[in-house]
Structure 1
């Protein structure tokens, strides 16, 4: 078995009823990291026969509910049930947005009194766009999701690309070397902050497209299956695991 694995915990768009939030997990010999922690995370972990006790760290790509609302549950159970702090990796520029504008309303007070983010998590800011833990090397890069909202994708061990939520980023992806990738897509023509299927076909060369599984899709995905399999590796699916 490989020393490093990547697992799709959820592949659904935020409106999806069929799939969990678009979150993932990276595991090495001695470390388990979540890539985002949306409101379906506990169910997604249970589907993999895991609990919050198994999680060592989380990297937050950006502040939207389907990527961060599960942090409240993770914080409470880690502190009171498992007597531990999970390490929270994030870019410093999103801390205010994540804590003051998102989590403080629920985590700002508990039975111990007034709290800060550091009372719940071991907060580590990403420096030089790099996280190194055990056998994991994660390089981060900015993508183009919601205007003026900082969002990052990752490159894992120089082999696996993961876009997080983004529109088409041909200028970014064509400069990266990777073996396999997971890329955001919307199957609608009205969503302005996710990459449309046609934009990816138009903007990305075939050599890139053939390495990509598409994720964060809506529940009508089966209607687009033939087209996706024609131009890409296919749709990502929950529980899909890549050994690196």
Structure 2
């Protein structure tokens, strides 16, 4: 299983792309999130939406779904390909369509469409899983935003590669080590949301908080979803992260074999 980091930046990064992954196995490609930068990120590695077979969506912020209209239209109007498969938690499907995609995708010349016209939708249960190319992907919820009335979750993944490695993608998450402890301990590799801004958003795990984690957890962590200050001084930040016990920061375009 080849994992390529299409982007590793925060939502508002100007020097990086959105934190999206491309997983490749036996000639097929699964996109993990499709932010607004995804068409450029794919172009930079010589691909386009027509090279993507399936998409998994973790949650509904634009750095994770802002490119879904691009994926939908460019595949729908390509007569030479089938609809991509869309995997996401079942509670996201209606909001993804009604609150995010419907305005742009509902109407085409002579037709009224819905999400099922664009994608083969596989709506997943809480703590459910799906199989793709013989690889198992298990959903793991993370706490991202509390709006005063309810918690807005994201749905990360534990990926079981064919080599036996277990990779935990937290997706966007607050610093909640007790909530994520089981997944942290279970995984061989952790792809961790890491805010590096001097001004905390409180909805992303901040580097200074992640530093306090046990050494055995930090040593498995690859850090991404960071601000442009890391891009500006990558070598300095990388040395700092490794001195603090992390595996390190991931660069845009980096490839990881699992």
Q: Is TM-score (shorter-chain normalized) higher than 0.5?
A: yes
Q: Distance in 1 between matches of 2:179 and 2:54?
A: 26
- 2:114 corresponds, among 108, 113, 116, to 116
Q: Secondary structure at the match of 1:145?
A: strand
In structure 2, how many angstroms separate the alpha carbons of the residues matched to 1:11 and 1:240?
A: 9
Q: CA deviation at 1:144?
A: 1.2
How far 1:184 sits from its partner (Å)?
A: 0.5
Q: Which of 166, 169, 184 is the matching residue for 1:159? A: 166
Task: State yes or no: 1:42 paired with 2:55.
Answer: no
Q: Which runs of 4+ in 1 moved over 3 A?
A: 223-226
For 2:95 and 2:250, how far apart are their aligned partners in 1? 29
Q: C-alpha displacement at 1:171, in angstroms?
A: 2.1
Q: Is the 8 A contact 2:142 2:180 kept in 1?
A: no
Task: Please name the residue that 1:126 is paired with.
Answer: 124
Q: How does 1:20-35 map to 2 (within 5 A)?
A: 20-35=17-32
Matches within 5 A, 1:40-189: 40-81=37-78, 82-127=80-125, 128-147=127-146, 148-157=151-160, 159-176=166-183, 177-188=186-197, 189=199
| 1:213 Cα offset (Å) | 1.1
In the alignment, is residue 239 of structure 1 matched against residue 253 of structure 2?
yes
Whole-angstrom CA distance in 1 between matches of 2:60 and 2:167: 23
Structure 1 residue 83, shift from structure 2 partner: 3.9
TM-score, normalised on structure 2? 0.88
Q: CA deviation at 1:69?
A: 1.1
1:218 maps onto 2:223 in alignment: no
- Consecutive unaligned residues in structure 2, runs of 5 or more: none
Question: Which is bigger in relative contact order (C-alpha 8 A, separation at least 6)?
Answer: 1
Matching residue within 231, 234, 243 for 1:230: 243
Q: Name the stretch that deviates more: 13-22 or 158-167.
A: 158-167
Q: Which segments of 5 or more consecutive residues in structure 1 lack a partner in the other structure? A: none
Pair 1:10 & 2:7 matched:
yes
**Structure 1: how far apart are the matches of 2:22 and 2:170?**
14
- Alpha-carbon deviation of 1:30? 4.5
- Tell me by how many angstroms 1:84 deviates: 2.5
**Matched residue SS, 2:211:** helix
TM-score, normalised via structure 1 length = 0.93
Q: Shift of the alpha carbon at 1:135? A: 2.2
CA distance in 2, matches of 1:171, 1:27: 32
TM superposition shift of 1:169: 2.9
Q: SS at the partner of 2:99?
A: helix
Higher strand proportion (structure 1 or 2):
2
CA distance in 2, matches of 1:225, 1:6: 20
Return the alpha-carbon distance in structure 2 between the equivalents of residues 78 and 179 of structure 1: 35
